[in-house]
Structures are given as C-alpha cells and as structure tokens.
Structure 1
C-alpha cells in the first residue's frame, strides 16, 4: 500500500510539473484484463542488468550464460548496454534460474528481476539483490531461528534462514539469505548484548563479486575506489583494508 501511495504521489507531482503541457485530454484509460497470452509471456520473462559494468561482449556473455544456466533455448534482447530481457520456454525453467542465483559474468553481478505485466522496462529497480550470508560467533545456547533472523535483519530484508547443525566445526551458527542494498557498504558484523556480556557476531558473504576492501561496496575493486584513493588505503603497504578478507565465506 505504501508503494502505491508513493507512485500516486510521484504521478501527481509529475503532472503538476508539466503545467500547461498536460491536460485531462491526454489521459487514456485502457479497459479490460491483460490477455492470458501476455500474462504467460511475462511470467516466462526476466529482466537482467549488470550492477556496475554496462559494456560487455554480448556474444561471449550469451554463450557463457547458456553454459552456466544449462539452457540453450532462451532468447535475449538488449534493452540498453548492460540491460537485457531474457525469455524462457517455460515458467519452471525461468524460476529455476531465478532461484539458483547469484549470477555473474566476468565477475560482474547480473541482477535479475521478474517481469511484471504492468511495469515498463525502464521502471525496474536493480539496486537490491539477495545474498547468502554465514553467521559466526553466536553461542549455541542462543541459537534459535528467531535470533538468527533478528541478527540477519541488521543486514537487510531476510528472505530465508537455515541453522547450522550443533557440533559442526568452524563456529558457523547459521546461514541467511538477505536482500541487500547494493549501494551501501556491506556490514562486517553486529554486536550482540547478552545478559552478562557482549559478543561480536561476524558476517561472511558467499560469492562476493568486484568487492572493494576500502569502502566495503560491491561493484569495483579497491584500486578503482572513488571514495578512498588506493594510495591512501594502506593496501599498497599490505595493510588490512577497512573491510577485510574475512567478509568472504
């Protein structure tokens, strides 16, 4: 409901900004339901966009995705550089691709979104993506589904939680699938207050791509960081970055 309210507010603001360029005569109401044929086509379509590198070799990209997706039959159209639509022959195949990510090409994150029949292809948002994060350091006496979910919620919106079997090594207590805002630095952990002590629970992210150990953001390496110049990061002197290697699972 909040999203609908925001869209109505933006539409009203746009109409007001157009002033005399807009009138009621320019409003077109499209009656009727969306055809089943179009709905089915939408359900079998994904939009995909590279998070931070629009220019790639298209033929090499498609050849690679056919191999990693184990699918030779999808079609791909270029909407703009680095932005594509993928059409699959079945909903099941589309859903398999969507559920089994994350996907990348040449270490560039490919963000996928389900096609919505009432959303223009220029209106999709590609700044959020699901990552799998492993949690370390929570005492097993405190490990419950609710606690692990609460800790993971400090990273982003929690999609899924799995607890580690007790007695396993390496101090891992659970794993969460979390929707991250790709514009923000990754969190390296969270401080958990118990009744008599405070403990640090570390986060380790699976399959990080083009990650900067200086600013903590996905999409570039420290050598190309605009926020912290590489020569000022300490990495040239083999000093640990602010967001060190422990972030990788």
Structure 2
C-alpha cells in the first residue's frame, strides 16, 4: 500500500510544476487584425470528420466526395485519420455542399464544420450534425409551420422549416432541418394531443448513414452495438428501419 504522505508530497510537487508551465510574461499578444487573404481562405474552408471508421482509402474518399458534391474545384488535406480540411474555390460551391448535406462515405457520416479563424483545428465539435426530418401523420389542418416547429423541437435544435406539397395536390407535409446530437438515440416519433384524440406522428430522416436498430444511434450497426448485444436481440441484420432514409 502506498504511503499517504509520499502521495501527498508527490501531488504537491505536481501542482507546483503545473504552476510553472507558464507565466504572464509568456503571453504573446496577437490581437491585431487577420489579413484579408487569411479571412478569405478561412471562409472557403470546411473541416470534416468521419463519425466512424476513420481509416479509409484517401483517393477513394476524395473521388466519392467530389462526385457527391458535383465539383472538381475542391482540394482536401488529411489532418489525421478520418479528419480532413476542404478548400473550395467559391462561396457558392461551399454553400451548396452544406445545404445538400449531410454527406456520407461508404455509409459513414461525414460531419462538416465551417472554419473559424480563431479556433484551432483540434477544438472543433463534431458531435452534432444537421439532418432533414419529415413529420408523417399530421392531419391536414395541422400542417402549419408552428406545429412542425414544435414537433421538430423534440428532436433537436431547429434550423429551418419547410412545408412541401405532395405532387400536384394542395396537401402538404412538413419537414425540418434539425441539428442532431449524434450521441443520442434517434427519435422515432411523438404523440400529439388533438383534444378529442391522440395521434402518433412519425419522424423520417433524410440521408441517414449507417445506424443501429437496437440502440437507435448513428455510427454503428446492430451487430456491433455495445449497449445492446446483437445476440440478445434476436433481430435479423437487415431488419427494415423505423427511422427512414
């Protein structure tokens, strides 16, 4: 058993050494303005991280992304396995990529973040990603922006609402662009109260990458689920989804 006095002395010495890592004299002021060239470069740069399976063939990855984004005017740098920077030639090209997301490579979600001139590349948060989510089952009279927004807020942060007609009819369905927390299970739906009855409203997600039918999380299949072992579910691997696509 370790001597408590020795452990205390060790801890005290460690704290002292941490205090000596830097001093006020070591602070360097770089508050002067960022050059227009650097700002322009940053504005046209996106950082991207594969949410699962970081080790991929780079050439296959880049070719697939260019094809999906319908552009050759993008350069890509590998910062570390599964972590990339993308430099675009125009704001329109970059905006098109963000608006048409989310993107996937071989069913692995690619989470994108806009470059910020004052954030180190290791400090970006890739645990959230926007998805379009459809609300199915709403009665005709309840398909309004306010109702769709309320339903969408149960899934995550609402970024945009759309009411879209089905074919040439006047009947519309609602969908919302929602910032999802990738660490949480996908919601399958919600119950609404109409006063005289209750209805189940189903959520259907656009462009879903691979996810787990057992725990409902993005990033792995049911066969690799650590929360609910696959052998205990008795499910078929190709079970039809409850979450849409």
Instruction: Please indicate the TM-score interval, normalised by the length of the shorter structure.
Output: 0.7 to 0.9
Aligned partner of 2:22 in structure 1 is: 22
Determine the C-alpha separation between the residues in 2 that align with 1:59 and 1:166.
Answer: 40
- TM-score, normalised by the number of residues in structure 1: 0.85
Structure 1 residue 162 and structure 2 residue 162: aligned?
yes
Determine the C-alpha separation between the residues in 1 that align with 2:158 and 2:145.
Answer: 12
Report the secondary structure of 2:165's partner residue.
coil
Change (3 A) 1:51 1:29: same
Determine the C-alpha separation between the residues in 1 that align with 2:91 and 2:143.
Answer: 37
Deviations 1:189-245 (A, max 9, x none): 11112222221111011121111100000011101111111111120499x7xxx61
TM-superposed deviation, 1:167: 9.3
For the 8 Å contact 1:108–1:209, the answer to whether it is kept is yes
Determine the C-alpha separation between the residues in 1 that align with 2:184 and 2:41.
Answer: 34
1:39-188 pair list within 5 angstroms: 39-165=39-165, 173-188=173-188
RMSD: 2.4
Report the secondary structure of 2:46's partner residue.
strand
Determine the C-alpha separation between the residues in 2 that align with 1:67 and 1:121.
Answer: 26
Structure 1 residue 246 and structure 2 residue 242: aligned?
yes
Determine the C-alpha separation between the residues in 2 that align with 1:190 and 1:67.
Answer: 36
Gaps of 5+ in 1: 1-15
Aligned partner of 2:12 in structure 1 is: none
Q: How many residues align?
A: 230
Report the secondary structure of 1:21's partner residue.
coil
Aligned partner of 1:204 in structure 2 is: 204
- TM-score, normalised by the number of residues in structure 2: 0.87
TM-superposed deviation, 1:30: 1.0
For the 8 Å contact 1:140–1:166, the answer to whether it is kept is no
TM-superposed deviation, 1:172: 7.1
For the 8 Å contact 2:223–2:237, the answer to whether it is kept is no
TM-superposed deviation, 1:20: 3.0
TM-superposed deviation, 1:165: 3.2
- List, as ranges, runs of 4+ consecutive aligned residues in structure 1 with deviation greater than 6 Å: 166-169
Report the secondary structure of 1:84's partner residue.
strand
